[in-house]
Amino acid sequence: MIDLHTHSSRSDGTDAPADLLAQAAEAGLTTLAITDHDTTVGWDEAAEAAQRHGVELVRGAELSTRHRGRTVHLLAYLFDPADVTLGEEMRRMREDRVPRLQRIVEHMAADGVAVTWEDVLAQVADGETSLGRPHLADALVANGIATDRNEVFARWLHNGSAYYEPHYAIDTAEAVRLVRAAGGVPVVAHPFATQRQRSLGADDVATLVDAGLVGIEADHRDHDDDGRIFARRLAAEHDLVVTGSSDFHGDGKDNRLGENTTSPESLERIVAASSGTIPVLH
């Protein structure tokens, strides 16, 4: 069982990297990718835990990008964490999240929603480097204003909300090129999740393929049957690797480890395409 898209408390998950590896072992997973948002800070802790629990670890990140005005999440696997150019872009994306989140909090507070910046910071775990809207959602839950993250995003924090604020995001095709230059393997995440963003089209995927895209995440809980079929059709057309994953965030979302998985053949193609680093215990 191979799950190539999960988040730890180093971004917006609720479990420390070591705890996430322990849960993966308990769930019967043989391979796990930790893909925290725009950061590699949890890689060392995850690598040590992978060896302790006997779970193969694919180190990665989920990059915040923008393509033709649309938010696109790009999974970047097995890149060199010392690559200066990619590292600088990830730093910019992380740092711009803070003033963006502060603006959202100020807007909500001005409208009478009982939340402060201190409430948000109280939800940030030790060692966490990538702040985002889920931390604000957790603050609203902690303050008794909502029951869970899902309610918060449905009412206040979705992309069409009056409280939405843009943040710095690199162009998706450029991000693909930077990941490849860093020896990594770019895979577009949940590209047809229409309930969370406008869907990409076939021409958009073709543009990313021209930039060096290696794979497409087809099996994801936010894809309906048509989205999964479309992803596989595009994968066949462009010889892309097909992946499936949970997008697990711990207690922050309903997603469960291993609810969607990737085939061993797809994992081997990802490993073969990388030159930045190798999986732990591969």
CATH code (residue 112): 1.10.150.650
In 3D space, the residue among 263, 264, 205 whose CA is nearest the CA of residue 239 turns out to be 205
Q: Which residues of 84-93 are buried (b: 16+ CB within 10 A; e: fewer)?
A: eebbebbeeb
Please check the confidence at residue 130 and state whether its pLDDT lies above 90.
no
Q: Is residue 207 part of a domain?
A: no
pLDDT band (50, 70, 90) for residue 243: very high
| Sequence-separated (6 or more) residues with CB below 8 Å from residue 91 | none
Amino acid at position 281, single letter? L
Q: Is residue 188 part of a domain?
A: no
Q: Rounded to an integer, what distance in angstroms lies between the CA atom of residue 50 and that of residue 8?
A: 14
| Sequence-separated (6 or more) residues with CB below 8 Å from residue 121 | none
pLDDT band (50, 70, 90) for residue 11: confident
Q: Is residue 105 part of a domain?
A: yes
**Range with the poorest average pLDDT among 25-39, 127-141, 180-194, 212-226:** 127-141
For position 182, what pLDDT does the model report? 98
For position 199, what pLDDT does the model report? 75
Q: Is residue 147 part of a domain?
A: yes
Q: Is residue 242 part of a domain?
A: no
Structural domain boundaries, residue 104: 97-157
- Mean pLDDT of the 248-269 span: 93
For position 175, what pLDDT does the model report? 98
Structure-block tokens of residue 259: 């609810």
Structure-block tokens of residue 228: 């999964």
Please, are residues 21 and 53 in contact by the beta-carbon 8 Å criterion? Answer: yes
Please, are residues 271 and 77 in contact by the beta-carbon 8 Å criterion? Answer: no
- Mean pLDDT of the 247-254 span: 86
Q: Is residue 209 part of a domain?
A: no
User: For the chain, what is the mean pLDDT?
Assistant: 94
Q: Is residue 91 part of a domain?
A: no
pLDDT band (50, 70, 90) for residue 253: confident
Which runs of consecutive H residues, i.e. helices, occur in the chain?
17-26, 43-53, 84-110, 117-121, 133-142, 149-152, 172-181, 202-211, 225-238, 264-273
Q: Rounded to an integer, what distance in angstroms lies between the CA atom of residue 113 and that of residue 190?
A: 31
Extract long-range pairs of 145-152: CB within 8 Å, 24+ residues apart: 145/113, 145/114, 145/115, 149/252, 149/253, 150/253, 150/254
The number of domains in the chain is: 1
pTM for the full predicted model: 0.90
Q: Is residue 146 part of a domain?
A: yes
Please check the confidence at residue 282 and state whether its pLDDT lies above 90.
no
For position 20, what pLDDT does the model report? 97
What percent of the chain stands above pLDDT 90?
82
